Amino acid sequence: MVLEELRDYRLSSAGKADSTFGQSGVVRLQFPGCLSSLANDVVSCADGKVLVALKVSFAGGYRFGLARLHDDGAPDVSFGDGGFVSGRFEAAAEAMASSVRVLDDGRILLFGLHYLDDEHTLPAVARFDADGHLDPSFGDQGVKVLRLPGGLAEGPRDGWLPPGLPGVEACAGAVQEDGKILLIANHTYTFADYVGLLIRLEPDGTLDPDFNGHGFVVVRHLLLNSWLSCLRIQVDGKILVGGSVGFPQLGLVVRYEADGRLDLGFGDQGLLSFGFAGVSSLVTKLAAGSDGRVLCVGNRFNPMRGALQGFNPDGTADHCFNEGDATQLELDTPGNLWASLTVQPDGAILVAGSTVMGFGSDFVLARYLADGQLDRGFAGGRGWVRTSLGRSLDTLTALALQGDGRILVAGHSLFGSFKAVVLRYQG
């Protein structure tokens, strides 16, 4: 009887705000002296602490940011300056952080963009020790700005964007089992001519010449413009990258062998392009199961809707997932966007994003079963939960699962200026 009651409690509480975290499940990050902050990634550390990567604005311009929280959401004052780290990849230049990874030894890799000027960026990586200090054994005293041969990897910088919509800045990273570092970026020749880049570094930050003979791969499908936004390493070591191709855009997923060669057994000679429900689309995040199946979330346009789709290990549509079609969450809003996904140990799929409705947008978190149907054991039987932080523009950017099953999301909310926020839900 006790076990049955415990099961019923877990089902009824899943998707509710976790009152043991911050204030009613919400933490607003307050970097000392900052004017605004945008959270771009969140990860759960092995000891239960929470690490957040940010773009932080100060009077002197943008800097990358890292924040570390205790399991209850309080700043970890043993990390950096009272729980916060901010900086530049090169002196007198602006910067931002896009993603973060924690290494097995506790050191921290931060991926982001170095702003060359008002219009151009370069991908960059920094490594910190567990206390938030730059690791001088990596790159140039802890920092590596990627300047590839031929001027490659110069991407565009975001200008003004409509509220809540993602921009063109992109850099994400991952770490292989041997410690080598993968990251994606984009190079723009002109406004209408661009390619994606998959780059591999040695653990010390130098380019790895064993990867495709150059240290990087140019990702271009059918000589069309190709754009990368996400990266995932499969259990077998193969590398997935995702984004978009062509104009109007189609979703793009490409798979490589661990050494940078295209996996010719995936899709069309290693590449897969598609539209969610057959329309213009963009892939924002990827996940790979232990059985080799591939999941991707992204956004379709006209109308703007978030979509989730599953593929077999060879890149064909997985007909055991929503009968081979993309699944979309219908809300009573003009639109919604999916920003991230993760797969639980039991195979359930968490996806997260935001509504799109002017200056009243909210966070959205949904859970699907392995077959692509909404999990009615989540959020009181509805399968999804919508969270408003007030009469503000709330934009969700990242999602992570803690070891105990609780769910972290991060993003930012407009309270006069943008402020980074982290929320935690019951799992």
Structural domains of the chain in order of their starting residue, each with its CATH number: 28-331 (2.120.10)
Amino acid at site 140: D
Segment 12-41, tens digit of pLDDT:
689 999 999 999 999 999 999 999 999 999
pLDDT of 180 higher than 90: yes
Q: Provide the pLDDT for residue 412.
A: 94
Dihedral sign, Cα of residue 241, residue 186, residue 181, residue 31: negative
Residues in the chain, overall count = 427
pLDDT, average across residues 269-280: 93
pLDDT exceeding 90 applies to what percent of the chain? 84
Mention every residue, 6+ apart, whose C-beta is less than 8 A from residue 408. Answer: 42, 44, 50, 399, 400, 401, 402, 422, 423, 424
pLDDT of 5 higher than 70: no
Give the residue among 115, 95, 14 at the shortest CA–CA distance from 53. 95
pLDDT, average across residues 230-235: 96
Higher pLDDT: 7 or 236? It is: 236
Strands 281-288, 271-274: pairing is unpaired
Strand order in the sheet with 335-343: 335-343, 349-356, 363-368, 384-387
CB 374 within 8 A of CB 368: yes
| Phi and psi based region of residue 33 (left: phi greater than 0; alpha: psi -120 to 50; beta: remaining) | left
Higher pLDDT: 248 or 373? It is: 373
- Tokens in use for 139? 């790159």
pLDDT of 277 higher than 60: yes
Is residue 228 classed as helix, strand or coil in its secondary structure?
strand
Spatial separation of the C-alpha atoms in residues 269 and 255, rounded to whole Å: 9
pLDDT exceeding 70 applies to what percent of the chain? 95
pTM equals 0.94
Higher pLDDT: 247 or 115? It is: 115
pLDDT of 214 higher than 60: yes
CB 144 within 8 A of CB 125: yes
CB 171 within 8 A of CB 112: yes
pLDDT, average across residues 197-225: 95
Q: Provide the pLDDT for residue 165.
A: 64
CB 29 within 8 A of CB 54: yes
pLDDT, average across residues 140-149: 96
Is residue 276 classed as helix, strand or coil in its secondary structure?
helix
List the single range of 3-17, 48-62, 300-314 with lowest mean pLDDT. Answer: 3-17
Band the pLDDT of 122: cuts 50, 70, 90: very high
pLDDT, average across residues 7-15: 66
Strands (E), 103-213: 108-115, 120-128, 143-145, 155-156, 172-175, 181-190, 193-201
Spatial separation of the C-alpha atoms in residues 7 and 1, rounded to whole Å: 10
pLDDT, average across residues 107-129: 97
Burial group, residue 178, by CB count within 10 angstroms (0-12, 13-18, 19+): exposed
CA dihedral 170, 175, 179, 185 (to 10 degrees): -20
List the single range of 8-17, 127-136, 218-227, 393-402 with lowest mean pLDDT. Answer: 8-17
CB 226 within 8 A of CB 220: yes
Q: Provide the pLDDT for residue 9.
A: 44
Is residue 237 classed as helix, strand or coil in its secondary structure?
coil
Band the pLDDT of 162: cuts 50, 70, 90: low
Q: Provide the pLDDT for residue 421.
A: 97
Burial group, residue 149, by CB count within 10 angstroms (0-12, 13-18, 19+): exposed
Spatial separation of the C-alpha atoms in residues 67 and 42, rounded to whole Å: 9
Mean pLDDT score of the chain, rounded to an integer? 93
Band the pLDDT of 101: cuts 50, 70, 90: very high
Dihedral sign, Cα of residue 401, residue 111, residue 114, residue 249: negative
Q: Provide the pLDDT for residue 334.
A: 87
pLDDT of 4 higher than 60: no
Is residue 26 classed as helix, strand or coil in its secondary structure?
strand
- Tokens in use for 248? 């109007």
User: Which string of DSSP letters, residue by residue, matches 373-422?
Assistant: SB-TTSTTTTSEEEE--SSS-EEEEEEEE-TTS-EEEEEEEEESEEEEEE
List the single range of 6-15, 288-297, 308-317 with lowest mean pLDDT. Answer: 6-15
